[in-house]
Amino acid sequence: MPEDSIEHIDFKELNEKAISQPLVTHIYTADPSAHVFDGKIYIYPSHDVDAGEAFDDLGSHFAMEDYHVISMDSIDSPAKDHGVGLHVDQVQWAEKQMWAPDANAKDGKYYLFFPAKDHDGIFRIGVAISDSPTGPFKPQDEAIKDSFSIDPAVFKDDDGSYYMYFGGIWGGQLQRWREGVFNASSPESPFAHLPAENEPALCPKVAKLTDDLLEFAHTAKDLVILDENGKPLLQGDIDRRFFEASWMHKYNGKYYFSYSTGDSHYICYAIGDNPYGPFTYAGRILEPVVGWTSHHSICEFEGKWYLFYHDSSLSEGVTHLRSVKVAEITYDAGGKIVTLEPYSK
């Protein structure tokens, strides 16, 4: 939803029309990564705080410093906040900006994957481990070797392999890695190093993880999103090209890669035949919400599929104070996801 329209919104009316309400209201939460462990829903969001930073295109006002873990016994039950699972002060290599995390489980251990800026101001991705899905999580001393950018999402395939999908342009710094190393030669601008509008868009990244889930098993690869003609989406195709917020799920044997288009505010998806792609653009999952960002996850619970997402309705449009929500999604006979309108109730 365009920023310049927020001042004209009647938030009481908007919230009455919303297809879902915030899961928690005592804190602001965003970027929800939802998983089902042992028959219960666990949500790993970022924790929005008002740090007093000025709004800019680098996301400096998103100054999150810790992670809470939220759980739900069922999709209709109250959401429980289990408190802080990890704080930036516990992470040796990280300085600030604990942005969107994800989690997964293996052999009785729970792994929290998270981005943060290191002491050189470069986003890296770290791992923290716990014996419980609610934490507390103990971080590794170093970030994942050769990791960069933001928004890690870790998908477990049917054969037990784990893959990390990640990346984000503008403040997420993905465009600064086009040559394989961090480019610090220009002013810190979100528009430096972006492709031209008629060039292929920057791709999200994918890497299989090692058996211990602590490192990449190979150098991260491009995940290419194709248009209806089999050509890579272009940078100027802002309604469809990747911006941030990777997620992967599997439905009827197909791989569904979903993501945010960022400045055009859509959650879109593309379908492929294997974890590496290529993926063909298939449509929108969610129309724009109130607030600048859109970020989501998708999981199955008791035979139904759910989209976890956020908006800024509770804070009445404050961009960096968001609230996690959930809504059911459905598929048509051809496997396409039926697009949700967030305020259509």
Question: Nearest-CA neighbor of 292 among 316, 319, 260, 325?
Answer: 319
Contact yes or no for 271/179 (Cβ under 8 A): no
Strand partners, 294: none
Q: Kind and range of the H or E element at 13? A: helix 11-17
Sign for the CA dihedral angle at 172, 178, 179, 185 comes to negative
DSSP string, 74-111: STTSPPEEEEEEEEGGG-TTEEE-----EEEEETTEEE
312 sits in the region (left: phi over 0; alpha: psi -120 to 50; else beta) called alpha
Catalytic positions, please?
A: 31, 244
CA distance 21 to 4: 23
